[in-house]
Structure 1
Amino acid sequence: MTFGLIRRIKLYTKQTLGFLIGSRTDLTLENRLFNSMTLIALFIMVFNIPFNYFSGLRMTALIFACLTLMIGYLYYLARFRKQVSISITICSFLVMLLFAVNYFFSGGIQGATFLSLMLAFVLIIIVSPKKYYALWVASSLLVVAGLLWAEYHHPEIIRVSYSDRKALFIDIAFTYATGIVVSFFSIFYLKQAYNAEKRSADQKTIELTQLNEEKLKLFSIISHDLQAPLSSLHSYVRLVANDRFNSDERKQVERGLANALHGTQEMLSNMLVWSQNQLDGARIVLTPNNIQDVLVPVIDIQRIYADQKGIVLETTIDGSLKALVDRDMLQLIVRNLINNAIKFTPPNGSIHVSALRSGMLCEITVEDNGTGIPAEQQAALFSLKTRSTYGTNNERGIGLGLFLCNEYAQAQNGSISFESELGKGTRFCLRLPLITAEAERG
């Protein structure tokens, strides 16, 4: 119970601070830093008002009260009106001016004003844009030089408001401690913000690199993998036009062209799906579906291609299985897996497709007794780094289909794996969470 209460307090505190400082999506880093600094400054000033008042520094307490009101308004402008540049400028000049005035009422060089001015300078540099650094450095040096000059030549203008020597030491010690605490939290927040921005930039760099690799892969597919079937079709049309085939030769060439065009059609389909995902993002619509109803239309079409190659395509499907899936995505996965099995299974081979219950999962497997996958290709099988391969009838395989299979399996809260032995066959297994009876009724 106590642990839960502490966790709720932490969550509430985090949400409150997030609201007061502002979110990364809403405000710039500069704006959030300024908001943080002003909140810290307001907290310290509110505490300093009674402290200075009862220490005998009543003018200092009045100055801190004025600062509190003014900085509070500037915080409002920056946080809620997003006028951060003007807020930083006004706040910086205002703090320097009031601390300079305070110098004459708090013991001059013997007081703690220079410590406060140093802290103010550090905070101003943290929140200010780089182009204003020279201005603030020059302003700080001029203010300090002016104060020292004034006290040196006119010491009578300095008013010592401390009640005794003890009050002076307490004020200096308190100001120094406040400076240390504020500096720590300011630099800590700055480092946190910097690290967060760096992680975001690194992630964007990784995503950009991946996108560039995928783009290059797509161009490679277009420039190489589409050239061969189109060249074959062009050559066939020219030969037919010149009537250079007898009937047997024509049938043989037509079968080869049919295979090439089927592979090209499959490749174009996958490329279009992938390209659409890159442009618009994958649109996932997860709805309750009967697995058998989703798979049967795909299997029936693929059985035609399997029969043309003399391959037996068998199925074992539990008709009671239901899962929360995207129908189009699931059909694309199964279509690619069966297509691959047909490509890499020799004539008179066999393919077995099953959909069975395994605990709370639906396991969809596509198993063949084909050529298998070489060990050196297995590590990159689900990435765009895999190389083009040829099936048992020289069908072209480019790997894009398996990449989509993996992406779409994960998009449906599932996973895909495979087992393969060279010369003996391959078994792909797609696992998807089933819908329980309670969830379906709910």
Structure 2
Amino acid sequence: MKRIVVLGAGESGAGAAVLAQKEGFDVFVSDMATINAKYKKLLDDHGIEWEEGQHTEEKILNADEVIKSPGIPKEAPMVRKIAEKGIHIISEIEFAGRYTNSKMICITGSNGKTTTTSLIYHIFKEAGYDAGLAGNIGRSLALQVAEDPHEYYIIELSSFQLDNMYDFHANIAILLNITPDHLDRYDYCMQNYVDSKMRIIQNQTEKDSFIFWNDDPIIKKELEKYDIKSVICPFSELKEKGSIGYIEEGKYTIEKPMPFNMEEEELSLSGKHNIYNSLAAGIATDIAGIRKEVIRKSLSDFPGVEHRLEKVTKVAGVEYINDSKATNVDACWYALESMKTPTILIIGGKDKGNDYDAIKPLVKQKCAGLVYLGADNSKLHDNFDGLGIPVRDTHSMKECVEACYEMAKPGDTVLLSPCCASFDLFKNMEDRGEQFKTLVKNL
């Protein structure tokens, strides 16, 4: 019996373990952290051996294959030892793909992944398609393949998940954009990160489709290096040569496979970045054969995504917006670009090698104040204090919200769009967003 070891027992790892057991493998799960009670119960219910708070080498290094959770870096000591032994390391998505013939709609990019994935899933469900939501959001793909299979899977893929995918095949691949992100995981080398994102098109055939943003300079340059076999489906804000999705004279337009258009103002999502997300989603669902009436209705009634430009409430004439999901500079740029009133920007967290120069012009133009929120705000002081905008230094969400309340005037907007990861002060970006919303609602 072949042995599968799963490193990391979160949503991804626990699901992979259940599928591995179902497929007849000898399975062992190991996590250096404490395993969530929900996943312990799942593993126990299936009689799968697990450990937490340690990695026992003799139980791991005898594996035929290792499924690594995406959050574990390749530099982790145990991962290094596994690689040195020549044991193949794969992702949960790669493993799950071996045991299903379902259609895979896969979305990646530095920004917009969650919104686009959620929007596509919304359209599929409205159309009555049998679809599962997986990857970075939703339930584990492996667990769904094992216990709740679907005809289609809509999968948000991070660069970390793509890194350990080899034979997996996307029927529809979507690449939204490529801007610097997670460079701390890629030896601070942009090309390493770019190469990871481009893996979205690996193994595609002439029967598949590749949707991408035609205006992205990095994507354009990278495409010259690849022999792309799939049908290319570029989109852009304006009608450009080759783009099959665009905005023209205020109309959202898709040329093929089934032409349709609608008024741009009817789209439920606002802001330039969301035009791109809506174009990618419209093209993908059009390719999947969903009727244009359903696509049109779904694009106009999609409720949006939690922690992504989420309107929280108005207090004393000030609008509070939770964009905690903005964990890189580009995401913050898009959020600021969509602001229509003077903005108090909350920025900070665990820096991932950020270059803040890209947002400085928008900060000058849009911001009435800056509130730094992090364990160490020195890099923020170095980058923004010289802009002549009032700043406040805070080290907890309570301090931060109090500072915003003091700084903001009626008619202003307080925007939490941090540019950074959350792990210095919070469990994750959801925790950061939830704390923000709770404190704002208690003002």
TM beyond 0.5: no
Higher strand share: 2
Greater RCO, 1 or 2 (C-alpha within 8 Å, sep 6+): 2
TM-score by length of 1: 0.18
Rg larger in 1 or in 2? 1
**Larger helix percent:** 1
TM-score normalised over the length of structure 2: 0.18
